[in-house]
Amino acid sequence: MQTGNASFIIRPAAQTTPIIRRGNILNIRSKKQLSLHVLKKFRIIYGSVRQHFREVEQSCGVTGSQLWIMQEVANTPGIGISDLADRLSIHQSTCSQLVEKLVARKLILKERSREDQRRVGLCLTEEAAKLMKLAPSPAQGVLPEALWALSAETIQTLNSSLEKVIEQLQIRDDQLAEKPLSDL
């Protein structure tokens, strides 16, 4: 399948690696092999996300997080920074900084509410609307789209499993959870 300038190979799903059990004890060799198999899955996810972000930047000159912001603003004209940050699951100050960059590039306008002068809403400029037509989809990124496609049960299982992986990390920075993937 050809998307923009990048080529992607679609392969049938690989066979799952069997876990060999002897009684209640997991075979250590197969556990290591399975761990390496899982590591490869993380590489595929990480590489696919990076490839999508590169394609976004090459085709329209904004970061993946900026494109997602523009999509949310296009879908909800007048949205405020707080609501926008919630939709992107990022910290409000991070969202504000990203929006300011888009304002400086004249891709987003800030408009004060007529009812409440303290409230500032966001809207896209015509230039941003044109730019979004050039952008590869999904605008929110390939990982959020993939996660949204999963069942609630699968998401819960994945969340629990990832929490266990994070607990095992010797070095970890929980503040990274509030930053957009394209900015990591």
CATH number at residue 148: 1.10.10.10
* Number of alpha helices (DSSP H) and beta strands (DSSP E) in the chain: 7, 6
Residue 31 lies in a domain: yes
Alpha-carbon separation of residue 169 from 49, 96, 109, 163, 182 (angstroms)? 22, 30, 42, 10, 22
Residue 46 lies in a domain: yes
Instruction: Say whether pLDDT at 34 is over 90.
Output: no
Residue 168 lies in a domain: no
CA distance 132 to 90: 21
Query: What is the number of domains present in the chain?
Result: 1
Residue 147 lies in a domain: yes
Residue 184 lies in a domain: no
Residues facing 94 on adjacent strands: none
Q: Which domain holds residue 11?
A: 2-156
Tell me the pLDDT band of 18, cut-offs 50, 70 and 90: low
Residue 40 lies in a domain: yes
Tens digits of residue pLDDT in 160-175? 999 999 999 999 888 8
CA distance 147 to 61: 26
Instruction: Say whether pLDDT at 104 is over 60.
Output: yes
Q: For the ranges 26-35, 45-54, 63-72, which has the lowest average pLDDT?
A: 26-35
Instruction: Say whether pLDDT at 10 is over 70.
Output: no
Tens digits of residue pLDDT in 50-72? 999 999 999 889 999 999 999 99
Residue 131 lies in a domain: yes
